[in-house]
Amino acid sequence: MNLLGLDAQGMERLFAIIGEKPFRARQVLKWIHRRGAADFGAMTDIAKDLRAKLAAVATIEPPVVIGDGTAADGTRKWLLKVDGANAVEAVFIPEDGRGTLCVSSQAGCTLDCEFCSTGKQGFNRNLTAAEIIGQLWLANRALGVHGQPGGVGAGNRAISNVVFMGMGEPMLNLDAVIPAARLMIDENGYGLSRRRVTVSTSGVVPGMDRLAAECPVALAVSLHAPDDALRDRLVPINRKYPIRALLAACNRYLEHAPRDFITFEYVMLDGVNDSDAQAQALLGIAARVRCKFNLIPFNPFPGSGLKRSGAERIRRFAEVLQRGGLTATTRKTRGDGIDAACGQLAGDVADRTRRTRTVPITEVRA
């Protein structure tokens, strides 16, 4: 059994089975996540016989790093092998006063949003909780945090925020996403505040309700269109959960996170969704849910047939939203040199769907 993916509950359950006390489970959790221990022998305040017992039944196994590249702006991307056929990507984005890790939740994605490079690759499988939290574990190790005295949280916090915005739709893999998110906010894990862990969804309504009930971290919703006709095309899951149902789910979510707001992600596509009239229509949506907008300049990829809105159009679009009383920010394009910008995570997926791969495999090397 791989202990890396067990949250506090899971670890305590395992320790009960092997006849050990819950506080021992919390100690081991700290060793793994705060100090980055990969072998039981390093856990010096745990009795030798317990260490031997654990070594006999369990392992601590992160994914394997097969690519590691840093762009000129400091954005760093790891390509992680999760099995013989699949590799996923995690990206670290350093900014003044904060560091954000973007993690993947699936190898590929089933949903095929029109503007998304990952979606064009098809889908192979869900990641396990160990493979998801393993991205944060590996990033802390690579950034030198695990090696500092006290490890994660002892004043060494290179990663202050985690966003589930890499490959995959997190709401379609909640059995693994929820334990991973719980470890991120657990004080014996990574100790991040609930609002600094963001799960992003294209609008899978049942998943939003489950996450609200079980682990209501911050929520981002990929909106990308102000009406159902356009959203049906850009984000096909809209045909199942149209905007009205999506907004109702957003409001139910906020009942579990009363002082939060929803972040609506909106990719700026030239001549498709970027007119003043469409910005005005978004004000109608914003009147129905507590929210802010994050405008994302589109990153073109081969075969997409889409173009990024011009800088002046994006500025004007944001201005319409702001004049309407909304908070609207525009995401800085980061990591261009290593294909780590939003919507460009490609990884390497053994496609088991019948979708045609149109995007070349991206691999970065140190």
Nearest distance from residue 311's CB to ligand SF4, in Å? 23
Residues 6+ apart with CB under 8 A from 66: 79, 80, 81, 87, 363
Closest residue by Cα to residue 127 from 136, 116, 140 = 136
CB of 94 to ligand SF4, least distance (A): 23
Q: Where does 34-103 have alpha helices with state H?
A: 48-57
Please, which residue, 97 or 305, has the CB nearer to ligand SF4?
305
118 belongs to the binding site for ligand SF4 (CB under 6 A) = yes
By CB under 6 A, is residue 109 in contact with ligand SF4? yes
- The dihedral built from the CA positions of residue 39, 44, 45 and 50, taken in this order, carries a sign that is positive
Size of residue set near ligand SF4 by CB under 6 A: 12
Q: Which stretch binds ligand SF4 (CB under 6 A): 35-43, 94-102, 116-124, 326-334?
A: 116-124
Q: Looking at beta carbons only, is 156 or 362 nearer to ligand SF4?
A: 362
CA atoms lying within 13 Å on the CB side of residue 133: 30
Is residue 312 part of the annotated active site? The answer reads no
Query: According to the binding rule CB under 6 A, does residue 282 interact with ligand SF4?
Result: no
- Is 89 designated active site? yes
What is the spatial distance between Cα 138 and Cα 66, in angstroms, rounded to a whole number? Answer: 12
Nearer to ligand SF4, 88 or 111 (CB): 111
- Residue 153 C-beta: closest distance to ligand SF4, Å: 30
Q: Which is nearer to ligand SF4, 61 or 112 (CB)?
A: 112
Three-state SS for 321?
Answer: helix
> Which residue in the set 112, 209, 228, 351 belongs to the binding site for ligand SF4 (CB under 6 A)?
112
Site string for ligand SF4, 129-168 (x = CB under 6 A): --------------------------------------xx
Helices (H) and strands (E) in the chain, counts: 10, 12
Residue type, position 98, single letter:
R
Intra-chain end-to-end CA distance of the chain, in Å: 31
Strand-pair category, 76-81 with 64-70: antiparallel
> CA-based Rg of the chain, rounded to a whole angstrom?
21
Residue type (1 letter), 236: P
Which of 116, 127, 212, 219 forms a contact with ligand SF4 (CB under 6 A)?
116
Choose between 6 and 172: whose C-beta lies nearer to ligand SF4: 172
- Which are the catalytic amino acids? 89, 342
Interface with ligand SF4 by CB under 6 A: which residues?
Answer: 109, 111-113, 116, 118-119, 167-169, 202, 222
